[in-house]
A and B are shown apart, each in its own frame.
Chain A
Amino acid sequence: MATLNIQGVTKAFGPTHVLHGIDLDVADGEMIVIVGASGCGKSTLLRIVAGLETASTGNVVIAGRNVTALEPAERDVAMVFQNYALYPHMSVFDNMAYGLKIRGLPRDDIAARVQEAANLLGIGALLERRPRQLSGGQRQRVAMGRAIVREPKLFLFDEPLSNLDAKLRVQMRAEIRRLQKRLGVTSLFVTHDQVEAMTLGDRLVVMHAGHAAQIATPMEIWARPADTYVASFIGSPAMNLFPATLEEGGHAARLDSNGLVLPFHDGPRPGPAGRKLTIGVRPEHLTPGQGGLELQVDLVEPLGGESVIHARLADGTEVTAKLPGSSYSDGALNVIIPLHTLHVFDGETGKRLEAGG
Chain B
Amino acid sequence: MRRKVIFGNKLLPYLLLAPQLIVTAIFFFWPAAEAIRYSFLRQDAFGISVMFVGLENFQDLFADERYLQVVWNTIWFSFWVTVLSMGVALLLAVLADRHIRGRNTYRTLLIWPYAIAPAIAAVLYIFLFHPSLGLLGRALNGFGVPWDYRLNGDQAMLVVILAAAWKQVSYNFLFFLAGLQSIPKSVLEAAAIDGASPSRRFWTVIFPLLSPTTFFLLVINITSAVFDTFGIIDALTGGGPGNATQTMIYRAYVDGRVNLDLGSSAAQSVVLMIAVMALTLVQFRFIERRVHY
Contacts and interface: CB of A to CB of B under 8 A. Distances in A.
Interface of A: 50-52, 71-73, 77-79, 81-83, 85-89, 98-99, 102-103, 130, 132, 146, 150
Contacts of B189: 50, 52, 72, 79, 81, 85
B195 A87 contact: no
A87 B173 CA distance: 24
Contacts of A81: 186, 189-190
Interface string B192-206: 111111001000110
A99 B195 contact: yes
Interface of B: 184, 186-187, 189-197, 200, 204-205, 208-209, 211, 293
A73 B209 contact: no
A130 B292 CA distance: 11
A85 B195 contact: no
A79 B190 contact: yes
B260 to A, nearest CB: 55
Which of B190, B196, B200, B205 has the most chain A CB within a 10 Å cutoff? Answer: B190
Contact of A85 (B190, B208, B211): B190
A87 B191 contact: yes
A132 B293 CA distance: 8
Contact of B209 (A83, A89, A132): A89
Given A50-B189, A146-B190, 8 more contacts: A72-B189, A73-B197, A78-B193, A81-B189, A83-B186, A85-B184, A86-B190, A89-B209
Given A87-B205, A88-B187, A130 B293 contact: yes
Given A52-B189, A79-B190, A88-B209, A73 B293 contact: no
A87 to B, nearest CB: 6
A147 to B, nearest CB: 9
Contacts of A103: 195
A102 B205 contact: no
Which of B195, B200, B205, B209 has the most chain A CB within a 10 Å cutoff? Answer: B195
A150 B194 contact: yes
A95 to B, nearest CB: 9
Given A83-B184, A102-B200, A89 B293 contact: yes
Contacts of A82: 186
B158 to A, nearest CB: 37
* 7 nearest A-B residue pairs (beta carbon): A89-B293, A99-B194, A85-B186, A73-B195, A85-B190, A102-B195, A89-B208
B209 A79 contact: no
Nearest to B188: A85
Nearest to B197: A73
A77 B190 CA distance: 11
Contacts of B187: 85-88
B193 A77 contact: yes
Contacts of B205: 87
Contacts of B204: 98
Given A89-B208, A89-B293, A72 B186 contact: no
A23 B228 CA distance: 64
Contacts of A88: 187, 209, 293
A201 to B, nearest CB: 22
Given A83-B184, A87-B187, A88-B293, A73 B208 contact: no
Which of B193, B196, B200, B293 has the most chain A CB within a 10 Å cutoff? Answer: B193
A86 B188 CA distance: 10
Nearest to B204: A98
Contacts of B193: 50-52, 72-73, 77-79
B194 A102 contact: yes
A150 B197 CA distance: 16
Contacts of A102: 194-196, 200
A256 B130 CA distance: 91
Contacts of B186: 81-83, 85
Contacts of B211: 89
B291 to A, nearest CB: 9
Contacts of A150: 194
Contacts of A72: 189, 192-193
Nearest to A94: B204
26 contacts: A51-B192, A51-B193, A52-B189, A71-B192, A72-B189, A72-B193, A73-B193, A73-B197, A79-B189, A81-B186, A81-B189, A81-B190, A83-B184, A85-B186, A87-B190, A87-B191, A88-B209, A89-B209, A89-B293, A98-B191, A98-B204, A99-B195, A102-B195, A103-B195, A146-B190, A146-B194
A146 B186 CA distance: 14
Nearest to A81: B186
Nearest to B211: A89
A82 B187 CA distance: 11
Contacts of A146: 190, 194
B261 to A, nearest CB: 51
Nearest to B292: A89
B293 to A, nearest CB: 4
Contacts of B197: 73
Which of B189, B194, B205, B293 has the most chain A CB within a 10 Å cutoff? Answer: B194
B271 to A, nearest CB: 38
Nearest to A82: B186
Contacts of B209: 88-89
A73 B196 contact: yes
B202 to A, nearest CB: 13
Contacts of A99: 194-195
Nearest to A158: B186
A73 B192 contact: yes
Nearest to B194: A99
Contacts of B195: 73, 99, 102-103
A52 B190 CA distance: 10
Contacts of A71: 192
